[in-house]
Chain A
């Protein structure tokens, strides 16, 4: 007891001058608590996003060379970009241009007309602002450029480069995943038994490590030893290998990617469907509306904002694809399945740091413009539609 007492006394006397100190310290802390709370996040992002981004910009504009005991950096302006866009690396990044035939011209005319229509509608109907106009012009130019690139490299005699491969993974992959996810969500949204079982099971692939998926699909697609080998033999194509043909290899990557990401679309869209106004659905059914009418007039308007948002989230992630092509096909055959991130990684491995950073920056540029455009021209209108 005396011991405790003395300890209390001790601390009491000890902290007498300290207490005032601590109070002012605490007051200061409380006064600045907002800043202190945000500070760690800002510092982490400055160190790992902004600072590297600036250094990367510098790297993209310089030539990196190993020297004795270190390395040298020489500022060379836009030479890295020139090498990639028109120089020795053009074949790798952009691909080889084929000859434009009638089909290519027709498709191009169609895309150009569509883009022109959207632009004209904005300028004539809405109240054009400077930012809005510049943004739309930029988005239109980017869409047009990418369309020309995709059409030219996929035309007869052309070979798609890593940019077109990435776009293929992004646009074809995300569309297929969205369609499948929506279809499954609509099926599961029916009054059926075991909905929770399907919900849990269909969710799993999303969480499986992509590297694991890549090897798994390599095993499954093995023409001699895979589970589908008897089927393949029955069709008499067991000597053929998907890995040696450009389009079948790309398809393989898309299949793996779709297996993984369809669940994401599914789980979110299912929740949105379950959340749709039930009374309206019931009323429509009583009025004799068929399934398609209910979907068009009630379900789709109810889930459109969420649908637009999931696609946006998926777009952002899809541009970063590397695991699947790297492990599934190693980017091959040739560079048929190589994505831009993988291209950048390969440049880094061959000590071409400047080129690697330049590719990274181009990817950043393309993905930012596509995602921001999608947000402004699809997600926002979809939300306004709801409100």
Chain B
């Protein structure tokens, strides 16, 4: 793969094989690649130059080249960044994306490591009883108006009784693969199914429109990806290192933090970047869970459709500042991010 350092032999022989195609094929190849380069660049270029236009330059027909057919101005930048409070949604986006990614990577890699190294046996009956009781609590509270504190206490008591009486007699159990599959399969669930109850939940806790609500939710939706990716990185490290540490008396946590984590550093970076960008771009959940104080950039941008029609110049400033960091990160660290994608895709 491209991430491997090139061997001396390949470096020596590659110049000979480069451009070894027939001339016609070579021209067609470069022409098509150039065409797609245009497809990628033109939208980005247009956003960038529109941000330096004013209403006049936009309305009087398309102008393509700054300094040549229109005079660029910083009016829109001044309006959006200095006179308006764009900085606040921007900070929200940064805080929410970074905090939720850190949490997701921490929680997810802990779980992934445990699932790779420790054998789990959870009785199927216990899981079933848990889910039945959870449903019963919801029905009791919603339909019969039982107080939720009472419902939870009763359910917990019933669960403990069931654990000691019924569950021990059953044989069926779920193992590591099942737990892992369950965690990862959560990603299939469209967020729209879960977002209504999450909204109500945060409303009850008076946490609606706070960064906390967004951080918690983003952590949850990105957790499956983290487990999915990091699982393979941990599975790839040799056991002996950890075992010798364990013989020396280090606890599992210590082994995890001092030996396992540093060994999968580059994999963690890949996961972190991928999840960070996903969190940065997230729209649907932010639309539900924030409206003013905790508003993030995607929501702010989508709300720019004013009654006078979108003001393209201001909009372009917002889009530029929103996507610039992502573009910079993904061009510089492309190898790392792509590595995260590849690990996911190759294993499945």
Q: Which residues of A contact B (CB under 8 A)?
A: 26, 29-30, 33-34, 37-38, 40-42, 44-45, 47-56, 58-59, 62, 73, 75, 183-184, 187-188, 190-193, 196, 198-220, 224-230, 259, 264, 267-268, 271-272, 274-275, 305-306, 308-310, 312-313, 316, 319-320, 322-323, 326-327, 340-341, 344-345, 348, 353, 356-357, 359-361, 363-364, 367-368, 371, 379, 383
- Is the pair A274, B43 in contact by a Cβ cutoff of 8 Å? no
Q: Please tell me if B165 contacts chain A, counting CB pairs below 8 Å.
A: no
Name B338's contact: one of A203, A306, A357 (CB within 8 Å). A203
B42 near A220 with CB under 8 A, answer yes
Q: Give the complex CA separation of A202 and B139 in angstroms.
A: 51
Interface string of B197-237 (1 = CB under 8 A from A): 11011000000000000001101110110010000000000
Q: Which of B26, B61, B62, B227 has the most CB of A within 10 A?
A: B62
| Chief secondary structure at chain B's binding surface | helix
**For the complex, what is the distance from the CA of A203 to the CA of B333, rounded to whole Å?**
11
**Residues on the B chain within 8 Å of A226, using CB:** 62
Check if B194 sits within 8 Å of A56, measured CB to CB: yes
Select one of A33, A44, A204, A323 contacting B251, CB under 8 A.
A33
A-B contact pairs, 26 of them (CB 8 A): A34-B114, A34-B252, A40-B111, A42-B183, A44-B220, A45-B220, A53-B189, A53-B193, A54-B138, A190-B21, A191-B21, A209-B326, A210-B298, A211-B298, A216-B319, A219-B316, A220-B43, A220-B46, A225-B312, A268-B341, A271-B1, A308-B348, A312-B348, A341-B284, A345-B192, A367-B190
User: A29 to B115, alpha carbons, bound, how many Å?
Assistant: 17
Residues of B within 8 A of A264 (CB): 341
Q: Is the CB of B42 within 8 A of A52?
A: no
**Contact residues in A for B86 (Cβ distance below 8 Å):** none
Looking at the assembled complex, report how far the CB atom of B315 sits from the nearest CB atom of chain A, in whole angstroms: 6
B338 cross-chain contacts in A, Cβ below 8 A: 199, 203, 267, 271
Q: CA A363 – CA B327 in complex, angstroms?
A: 32
A379 CB contacts on chain B under 8 angstroms: 348
Task: Please choose the segment from B27-35, B66-74, B264-272 that sits at the chain A interface, where 4 or more of its residues have CB less than 8 A away.
Answer: B27-35
Q: Are B46 and A203 in contact (CB under 8 A)?
A: no
B1 touches A275 (CB 8 A): yes
Q: Which residues of B contact A29 (CB under 8 A)?
A: 251, 253
A41 and B110 contacting across the interface, CB-CB below 8 Å = yes
Say yes or no for B302: interface residue by CB 8 A criterion.
yes
Please name the residue on chain A nearest to B255 by beta carbon. Answer: A33
Q: Of A184, A211, A214, which is within 8 A of B36 by CB?
A: A184
Q: Which of B17, B20, B197, B277 contacts A207 (CB 8 A)?
A: B277
Is B217 a contact partner of A267 (Cβ separation < 8 A)?
A: no
The answer to whether A207 touches B33, judged by C-beta atoms less than 8 angstroms apart, is: no
Q: B120 near A38 (CB under 8 angstroms)?
A: yes
A188 near B33 (CB under 8 angstroms)?
Answer: yes
Any A CB within 8 A of the CB of B59: yes
Q: Are B114 and A207 in contact (CB under 8 A)?
A: no
Given A58-B139, A59-B196, A203-B338, decide whether A216 and B327 contact each other with a Cβ distance below 8 A.
no
Chain A residue with the shortest CB-CB distance to B327: A204
- Give chain B residues whose Cβ lies under 8 Å from the Cβ of A34: 114, 118, 120, 252
Closest B residue to A41 using CB positions: B111
Q: Which residue of B lies closest to A308 (CB)?
A: B348
Please indicate the chain B residues that have their CB under 8 angstroms from the CB of A308 in the complex: 348
Point out which of B40, B192, B280 has the most chain A C-beta atoms below 10 A from its C-beta: B192
List CB contacts (< 8 Å) of B16-70 with chain A: 17-21, 26, 29-30, 32-33, 36-37, 39-44, 46-47, 50, 58-59, 61-62, 64
Q: Is the CB of A360 within 8 A of B192?
A: yes
